[in-house]
Amino acid sequence: MPDSEHLLFIKKRLNLWHGIMTELNIGAHCSEKDCRQLDFLPIHCEHCDRVFCKIHSSITAHNCPISSSTYKCHQSSSQFRSDDANDNICDYHLCNERQLVLLSCDGCYGNFCTSHKQKEVHQCSSLTQSLHQLDKIQPLKTVDRTALNAISHTIIPTKINDTLSVKPLSDRARATKAKLILLKTKMEALPGGQRARELPESERFVIRLSVMPEVLSKNNMISVYFGKRWPLGCILDYGCEHFHLPRDKKYGLIRLSDELDEYFATNCSQHQNHIVSNSLLDLNSSLKQHVGENCFVEGQLLQIVCLPQT
């Protein structure tokens, strides 16, 4: 707290400053009769042409008589603008919300609030017209899936009665079917374990793997890829684990001949294919070695067989 001498000094300085401003004719007294305060920055009223201090500068503070009619006119004008704003009502029949700016729909050309701006929300008539147009469009033709259905089941070699006559496929049909089998195999191929998942594309070899019907009677063929340099023993181990085969039996791998390798394995004779298809494969040899020695092709069909007990 300042002492009394300091307060007295400040009061003298203020009186001196007030006297100097009065002599220089700076400032003016407030026109309000109950105030008459000397204000060095008086505010001029543009309506009654009088000056006031900051406290009585507003037209309501000094009850300006001349501005009353102008104020009423301004108030009515503001009320008129407010009434115009009330016309901005959402066109949705279940909404009465008013907004300063409404959003126009390019389908029905209505004006809607932000909650009903979507065509689906305010049930735009343009959507109904679009549905009627879709109904007039002819349905697509049914795709012939005969070739796809022919390869969608496990291929199990069966003995065909010689008395039955089967119409042979043309070369073009055989090529189409083989390409479809290979395409379907590559599309559905899964990694043969975590190691196979990390293989680059150039090191992958896709095969089809199944179990002989005597062990698993249901459709059990899968498409899977392994490393080209992996031995067939890895494939057998993966197949036994995947199909949950009993561990008290011994298993081996054989190659099944179908339309795929009959078309793509052009370097092997039919006699060589028959020999390979009826013999157990060497589990120590890699897939790459079998490609060169036994005419393995991409998408080769291998089957897990149960070996006789010794």
Q: Residue with structure tokens 């394995």?
A: 265
Strand partners, 256: 301
Quote the domain boundaries for residue 97. 88-124
Domain finish residue from 33, 66, 84: 84
- Mean pLDDT value across residues 251-277: 65
Which of 89, 92, 132 is closest to 108 using CA atoms?
92
pLDDT, position 22: 60
Residues 288 and 187 in one domain: yes
Q: Residue with structure tokens 């049914």?
A: 142
Number of domains composing the chain: 3
Task: Tell me the pLDDT band of 132, cut-offs 50, 70 and 90.
Answer: low
DSSP, residue by residue, 206-221: EEEEEE-TTT--S---
Q: Residue with structure tokens 């932000």?
A: 114
Check pLDDT > 70 for residue 109.
yes
Judge whether 108 lies within some domain. Answer: yes
Strand partners, 191: 225
Domain finish residue from 84, 101, 134: 84
Task: Tell me the pLDDT band of 284, cut-offs 50, 70 and 90.
Answer: very high
Check pLDDT > 70 for residue 150.
no
The amino acid at residue 185 is T
pLDDT, position 290: 84
pLDDT, position 292: 80
Judge whether 181 lies within some domain. Answer: yes
- Mean pLDDT value across residues 139-159: 57
Most confident of 73-87, 159-173, 190-204: 190-204
Phi, psi angles (nearest 5°) of residue 205: -135, 120
What's the mean pLDDT when you consider all of the chain?
76
- Mean pLDDT value across residues 120-149: 66
Check pLDDT > 80 for residue 183.
yes
Instruction: Read off the pLDDT of residues 13-57 as tens digits, 9 standing for 90 and up.
Output: 766 666 666 655 677 888 888 888 888 788 888 888 888 888 888
DSSP, residue by residue, 143-207: P--HHHHHTSS-----PPPTTS--PPPPHHHHHHHHHHHHHHHHHH-EESSHHHHT--GGGEEEE
pLDDT, position 203: 92
Instruction: Read off the pLDDT of residues 212-261 as tens digits, 9 standing for 90 and up.
Output: 888 877 778 899 999 999 999 999 999 999 988 888 788 999 888 777 76
Residues 67 and 182 in one domain: no
Judge whether 77 lies within some domain. Answer: yes
Six-digit token string for 8: 């007295």
Instruction: Read off the pLDDT of residues 65-103 as tens digits, 9 standing for 90 and up.
Output: 876 555 444 444 444 444 444 567 888 888 888 888 888
Check pLDDT > 80 for residue 149.
no
* CA separation for the pair 166, 96 (Å, rounded): 76
Check pLDDT > 80 for residue 282.
yes
* CA separation for the pair 310, 262 (Å, rounded): 35
Q: How many CB atoms lie within 10 A of CB 288?
A: 15
Domain finish residue from 33, 54, 84: 84
Residues 72 and 120 in one domain: no
Residues of the chain with pLDDT > 90: what percent?
A: 15
Strand partners, 208: 223, 301
Residues 93 and 116 in one domain: yes
Top-confidence residue, 38 or 137? 38
Residues 115 and 237 in one domain: no
